[in-house]
Structure 1
Amino acid sequence: MNQSLVKLTGRREYDLCGHPVVDLFADEASREQAARTFVHPTGETVHELELQLRAADGGAMAVSLNGTPRHGASGKLLGMVVTGRPVGELRRAYHALRQAHDDLKRTQQQLLHSEKMASLGRLVAGVAHELNNPISFVLGNVHALQRYASRLARYLETVHRGAPAEELKSLRAELRIDRIIGDLQPLIEGTVEGAERTRDIVDGLKRFSAVDRDEQQRFDLVAVVQRAVHWVGKAISGGFRANLSLPRTLMVVGSPGQMQQVVMNLVQNAHHATSGQVSPRVDVIARLEDASVVLEFHDNGPGIDPDNLPRIFDPFFTTKPVGKGTGLGLAISYGIVERHGGQLTAANHAEGGAVFTLRLPVV
């Protein structure tokens, strides 16, 4: 016995020693159950047995008891070692644990939102670069068309008021009408081409917006990889290359938006890991292997310190300088892949560099 039992029962230690264990309990049902379980044990372990203990104030106190059989050197059952604690204390501990679990879930959601915002920042950088060219092209063409429209309007107004042929010829040369007529079709075609390119980019953004949707669907992982690599490539510089070795299609089930976020994180991670290389690159290789779709990201960086490998997917773990990374990208990617019934692992490649391997179930 210990001081906790002495305190709960209000009895002195010498008063408790040598007395039947059933005397500790307040009601007949608890005493009978204690006799069956502890006085005449069967050798089985007891878990969470709730009985009414006689408390120091003479009332009853609910306690939760656990019992472990005690055997002698010969293997003979000698008795039971019984431990317990008040149910009220257990309930308070359970409430605290549940509160901690709820707080952890809220924190996880906040971290997920934080990483999504980081992914959005990378996307915005790529979109700005991607949209700049066609929009600038369209804008330049529209300005030219605006100038040409002003000259054509002036020339047509002169024609309509019946100006002499010599005046029209002189004005036509001055306004370069023949050049305008020759430029109109290419300008219009270029403007249409730029507008269509802008439309295609917006369509791509609509597909990317699925990153905030959790609905499960059948989708082509190859298309997701190509789209993610394209957007990351627009947001980074320094000669980094992503070499793709992909089959035509690889169908899986899950959230294409979430999987695109994983691919973006892994390519971005490879970009950071290879920043000191002369020709930084990542080889993205996809294949079918048994009952899994396998996607590998092999970079030509320095690899991962063996001491860091066990922690590489831990939240907030990063080897980047302070302010250069949240340490959440790989942790969140790991969680997304796990929720898709897959695995995400990291290792050092035999030929140098690091390799991240993503496995998803085949549809």
Structure 2
Amino acid sequence: MPREDRPSPDPARRETLLALSQLDGVDDSAWLDVIAKMDEVYSQLVQDEIALEEKNEQLEQSQQFIFSLLSAMSDVLVACDEAGRIEETNAALRELVGQTEEALRGTPLLALLADETSVQNIRHALATTTRRGSSIEIDLRDAQGQAVPVDLNITPRHNAAGHRVGHVFVGRPLGELKRAYHQLRETHEALKRTQQQLLHSEKMASLGRLVAGVAHELNNPISFVLGNVHALQRYSERLREYLGAIHADAPADEQVKLRAKLRIDHLLADLPSLMEGTLEGAQRTADIVQGLKRFSAMDRGERIEVDLNGVIERAIHWVRKGTAPSFEVHWEPGPPCTVMGNAGQLLQVVMNLVQNAYDAAATRANAAPAMWITLQCAGDTARLHLRDNGPGIAPEHLSRIFDPFFTTKPVGKGTGLGLSISYGIVEQHGGRLSAGNRAEGGAEFVLELPLSSRS
């Protein structure tokens, strides 16, 4: 640069300049240029030193962050070189195997394994793993010498040039997971047992209503048969006495008197009606049992063609005979309406809906319990409408009416499973069960089922 643009040297530099100026062949301007360059180099060195200190601080922070991550990991971590020698570990692995970082560094990873199978798995992984995400299960030897199963995830490690220089193994001991899985399985099994018990409880409640109806239905013919049998027993004793006199060759006048005394003529005249009544009562009992047998496939999962008219009529019959003798049900059977299903399960659904209608309608003090049932078969769907004259379903309960354990009945009067189970049965039959309120009052349930192809 021009001489006039150069900065004036300070006294120390001036003395240096004067000393250097004694050298032959070197003028002042040359030495000023040298000092200026030295100042520039020194300034650059200071800036580089500051930048280096900043980079070093950032590097220390990064190392501290990585160290804190490795220390916080609950999974074990091992970094090995290409030959399988340990280069880095985390606190979880060191705690598991009971060795220090210094003792582990440079140790073959194979030395930490508990059995030959694990050794072979690691050797195969070191030789073949070329991508992220490969996993193997091995057994590590813990501080007490016990084998600990570990699920390892293996990832190759590369240098800046892209060459593989080793592997990183990250894994979680399976002991805790197995214990958690075992507890979860036990809890699941307990839940399944509880569910089965609850389903059985609801089924028994439905069966109880059915049995109550059956008992009432059987009472009349059985009582009739028992009365006739008692009469026949008395008649047989009188006949035995009269025949005994005849076989003993009693005088004719005594036989006439005994015949009149024992009312043998009346007895003989009454025998045909007694026998006929007994046979009728027995036949009625047999008919009732036969009717039950038609709907006894509740647990066998049998799917047959079922006429819904018969299901509805039987459900009304059993509910009225069992718990609702004064229930006024408006229902007229129509043409056959056949669906493919389980007769017993469908009977359970309709009985539950009829019983719920009675329970709801019976809560009103100013009206006798009543319900109206209509069955429509159109297209490929059978639609059963069941409406009662009860108070209806509260709006806040409509969205929960089919939830398990939900019930508005008092404690001890309902399990809250009847409608939920009915909903599930209908779904299994490919149908739909819905609930709502009628504008004129009362609740209405609509049961839809696919018709049989032969309907």
For normalisation by structure 1, the TM-score amounts to: 0.75
State the partner residue of 1:234. 321
Q: Which amino acid aligns with 2:437?
A: N
* Alpha-carbon distance change, 288 to 62 in structure 1, aligned in 2, over 3 angstroms: farther
Q: Kindly provide the CA deviation profile for residues 92-127 of structure 1, in whole angstroms up to 9, marking residues without a partner as x.
A: 988877776655544433322121111111112111
Equivalent position of 1:117 in the other structure: 204
List aligned pairs for 1:65-104, cutoff 5 A: 104=191
C-alpha displacement at 1:300, in angstroms? 0.7
Number of aligned residue pairs:
309
- The residue that corresponds to 1:290 in the other structure is 379
Distance in 2 separating the partners of 1:192 and 1:347: 48
The share of aligned pairs that are identical, in percent, is: 56
1:211 matches 2:298: yes
Residue 48 (structure 2) aligns with? none
Call closer, same or farther: CA 1:99–1:155 in 2, change over 3 Å: closer
Q: Structure 1 residues 237 and 105 mapped into 2: Cα distance closer, same or farther (>3 Å)?
A: same
Task: Report the counterpart of residue 60 of structure 1 in structure 2.
Answer: 169
Q: 2:131 aligns with which of 29, 37, 54?
A: 29
The residue that corresponds to 1:279 in the other structure is 368
The residue correspondences of 1:44-59 to structure 2 (distance < 5 A) are: 52=154, 59=168
| Worse-superposed segment, 88-97 or 320-329 | 88-97
Contact 1:299/1:354, CA 8 A, preserved across alignment: yes
- For 1:30, the aligned partner's letter is R
Q: Secondary structure at the match of 2:447?
A: strand
SS in 2 for 1:30: coil
1:196 to 266, 279, 283: 283
Cα RMSD of the aligned pairs, angstroms, is 3.3
Equivalent-residue separation in structure 2 for 1:244 and 1:310 (angstroms): 28
User: In the alignment, what sits opposite 1:265?
Assistant: 352
Secondary structure of the corresponding residue to residue 311 of structure 1: coil
What 5-or-longer segments of structure 1 have no aligned partner?
12-25, 33-49, 64-85
Evaluate the alpha carbon distance shift between residue 101 and residue 250 of structure 1 in structure 2; reply closer, same or farther with a 3 A threshold: farther
Greater displacement, 115-124 / 151-160 = 151-160
CA contact (8 A) 1:344 1:356 kept: yes
Give the CA deviation at 1:207. 2.0
List alignment gaps of at least 5 residues for structure 2.
1-64, 78-88, 91-125, 135-151, 158-166
Greater RCO structure (CA 8 Å; 6+ sep):
1
Q: Deviations over 1:239-271 (max 9, x none)?
A: 112222332311111211111111111111111
Q: Which amino acid aligns with 1:178?
A: D
Q: Could you tell me which amino acid in structure 2 is paired with residue 324 of structure 1?
A: K
- Offset, 1:161: 2.8
AA aligned opposite 1:301: G
| 439, 442, 447: which one aligns with 1:350 | 439
In 2, Cα distance between equivalents of 1:114 and 1:4 = 54
Q: CA deviation at 1:4?
A: 7.3
The 3 A distance-change label for structure 1 pair 53 and 102 is farther
Equivalent position amino acid for 1:239 in 2: S
Aligned residue among 332, 352, 358 for 1:245:
332
For normalisation by structure 2, the TM-score amounts to: 0.61
Provide, for residues 181-216 of structure 1, a one-character-per-residue CA deviation record: whole Å limited to 9, x for no partner: 121111110000001111111112222321122122
Instruction: Indicate if the aligned counterparts of 1:245 and 1:283 stay in contact, CA closer than 8 A.
Output: no
Corresponding residue SS for 2:336: coil
Query: Residue 370 of structure 2 contacts residue 388 of structure 2 at CA under 8 Å; is this kept in 1?
Result: yes
Partners of 1:167 and 1:196 in 2: how far apart? 41
Whole-angstrom distance in 2 between the partners of 1:290 and 1:92: 55
